[in-house]
Structure formats: C-alpha cells, structure tokens
Amino acid sequence: MKRTFWSNCLVIVLALGLVLALTSPSIAKTEWKMALGDASGGTQWALGERFAKLVEAYSGGEITLALFPNGQLGSEQETVQNCRLGTLDFSVAAINNITPFSPKVGLFTLPYLILSVDEAVTLTQGPVGEELVQETIKAAGVRILGWSYSGFRRLSNSKRPVTKPADLKGLTIRVPKNAIMIDSYKSWGVSPTPMAWDEVFTALQQKVLDGQDTPLITQYVMKFYEVQKYITKIRYVFLLEPLVISEQLYQRQTPEVKAILDRAGKEAQEHCRQFLVLFEDSIAKELTGKGLEMLEPADGEKEWINKATQTVWPKFYKSIGGKEKVDAALKAVGRDFPF
C-alpha cells in the first residue's frame, strides 16, 4: 500500500518518540526524607538545604527532599543505622556517628590530624577521602555524597576559664560516644562523660554537665550561649558531617538520577565550605555579644597537641586501617608526625 506524505510523517514521529523513550529515561515523581541532627541555620542545614534545592532543580522538579532538623527522626547514630537498613533515605551526621558502622573513617577523628579548613578539603576531596567513601559503602551500607565542613570543635563550659589541660580538672565534660574522642580527653587528665547529642542541651541546662565541645556555628544555632559561659578555642577535631544516602536507595536509581545526586553532593559541599568561611568569624562575634568569653589555649596549644597525639594516635592505628593511613593523610597535607 502506497504511503502518503502525512502517513510517512506519522511513522517518523512515532519512531522518534520510541528512540527518546529508550534513550532518555524519565524521572519518576519522588519525595525523599533527610534527617539532620542540628537545628536549621548551621552547616548541616547549609549542606542539606543546598543539596535538596540542587536535586530538585536538576531533576526538573520531579525529586524533592523534606528536611527534618534537630533530631526529629532520631539520634544521628539511629538515622545512619536507618539509612543503612534502607528505612531512611538521607542523613547528615557527625563523622563520629558513622565510625560505629565504618571504623576506618575514625581517621578523621584523630586529634589534631586536621589543622585547617584547607586541610579538611584536601583530605575529604582527595584520594584519602575517596578511599573512605568506598570503605563506608562496603562496611556501613551508606554512601557519602558530600561533606559538611563545620569547623573545629571548640570546648565550652559554664564554670571557669580553661586555657590548659590542668584547668579541666573537676569539670564534667560531654563527649560523643566515640573511643578516640574519649581517649583524647583522658590524655588531658579528665574522664569525660559520653552522651548522645540530643541529650546535651538539657544536661547542660540542668547542670548535669559543665561543658562540651562543638563548632562555634553549632553552639550558636543550638543556643548553647544560654547555658555556657566560656569557650576555649582548641582545635583537636575538625568536625566533618557527611551527607549519606542509603546505598540500597542509591543503587535503585537510574544512571541519570545517580549523576544528579553525585553532582548535587559535590556542589553542596562546596557551598557548605563557603558558608563556614563566610560566617564563622561573625558567629564568634555574635557569641561574644551573647556574653561568652573567648579564650586562646596557653602556649599555642602545644601541651594539648603533644599529650593527645602521642597518647591517642598509636592506640588507634589498627582500628583506622593502619599507621600507613595516617602517614598518607599527613603526606597529603604536607606535614610530619610528631609536629
């Protein structure tokens, strides 16, 4: 049967439609949930919110994320566990809350391993960080899509000025339930109190605790200035708070959606880095304005550094994958140990 011009056009249109259907998979309308341990306004929020906006934009509005800050979906360890099980989509959690599931990322909780924002970026975005991303997929069942650069964990307390380790004597200091961080305080002559993050403010308020350590931005958004008086600007841990996705969820996605998630994660972590650099100094002034006294560690922090590194590092080489992992990290940032 002879085809007309219009019937030929119809055949071409149908053929093109079939090609597009096969080569350009559509993105299904989806809403995911993301847990954050901190309140809105901090670095966790900066990372999570930007990631959500980018994913929505790159998916043409088909994928949206609902953010649940302030531990609404459980403690950080619980949300990482739920991502691991595939019952939660995303979580932003402190690195120490990922180490129970992936011990080798404990490398980034070694005291004084990271001494600047630039070093944090170098380690997380270079070969050292990529190896830990792959390790976390295998060991924990979650994939790190981006890193929140939250700043150094600064020591705060409500009792007295602290500038040297001896000043900690008699203070009840909260630390996360992390062996490396607990031993860091023990190296300074105190026995810290391990406690889940969502219990800390109330414990400080009720004087069960005298102090704790978190970055300045976190102390501000969590309103710790209401229950603390002094901040000591130690640098023993640079807080990294990865954005993780359930690996089960990630592997169910099309190549197109995986590319969107990977791209959004990288761009969101850069936004978070810029957020920290831009706002940390002004947050310090805000905290001072709220009545907190900022203190520099005595003697350039040498006593803090020497006691923590010489006591803690050798003890945990095995758990973080061997001394060679520490050596590789130091080489990446151009330092030697001891320092």
- 289 & 180 share domain: yes
| Mean pLDDT of the 260-285 span | 97
Q: How far apart are CA 334 and CA 302, in angstroms?
A: 19
**What confidence category does residue 177 fall into, taking pLDDT thresholds of 50, 70 and 90?**
very high
The CATH number of the domain holding residue 188 is 3.40.190.170
Cβ contacts of residue 287 below 8 Å, gap of 6+? 216, 219, 220, 225, 231, 294
Number of domains, the chain? 2
In a shared domain, residues 208 and 68: no
3 within domain boundaries: no
User: Around 129, how many Cα atoms within 13 Å sit in the side-chain half-sphere?
Assistant: 20
Average model confidence (pLDDT) across the chain: 92
pLDDT at 337: 75
Per-residue pLDDT tens over the stretch 61-71: 999 999 999 99
Q: CA neighbours within 13 Å on the CB side: how many for 46?
A: 23
Quick one: pLDDT band at residue 295, thresholds 50, 70, 90? Answer: very high
Answer yes or no: do 107 and 201 share one domain.
Answer: no
Q: 131 and 250: one domain?
A: yes
Confidence band for 336, pLDDT divided at 50, 70 and 90: confident
Does 245 lie in the same domain as 229? no
Choose the weakest-confidence range: 11-25, 147-161, 315-329: 11-25
Q: Is residue 18 one of the residues assigned to a domain?
A: no
User: What pLDDT is stored for residue 338 in this prediction?
Assistant: 62
| CA separation for the pair 290, 303 (Å, rounded) | 30
Tell me what the mean pLDDT of segment 256-265 comes to.
98
Instruction: State yes or no: pLDDT of 323 exceeds 50.
Output: yes
The Cα–Cα gap between 56 and 133 comes to 24
* Residues 263 and 233 occupy one common structural domain: no
Same domain, 35 and 108: yes
Residues 202 and 181 occupy one common structural domain? yes
Report whether pLDDT(3) > 70.
Answer: no
Does residue 282 carry a pLDDT above 80?
Answer: yes
- C-alpha–C-alpha distance, residues 42 and 150, integer Å: 8
Residue 224 sits in the same domain as residue 243: no
Give pTM, 2 decimals: 0.89
Tell me which residue range forms the domain holding 203. Answer: 154-237+285-318
Residue 21 lies in a domain: no
Provide the residue type at 44 as one letter.
Answer: Q
pLDDT bucket at 27, cuts 50 / 70 / 90: confident
Whether residue 205 sits in one domain with residue 56: no
Is the pLDDT at 119 greater than 60? The verdict is yes
Please give the pLDDT value at position 218: 95
Tell me: do 248 and 308 sit in the same domain: no
Q: Identify each DSSP E strand in the chain by its residue range.
A: 30-36, 63-68, 90-92, 142-152, 154-157, 174-175, 193-194, 211-214, 230-232, 238-246, 293-295
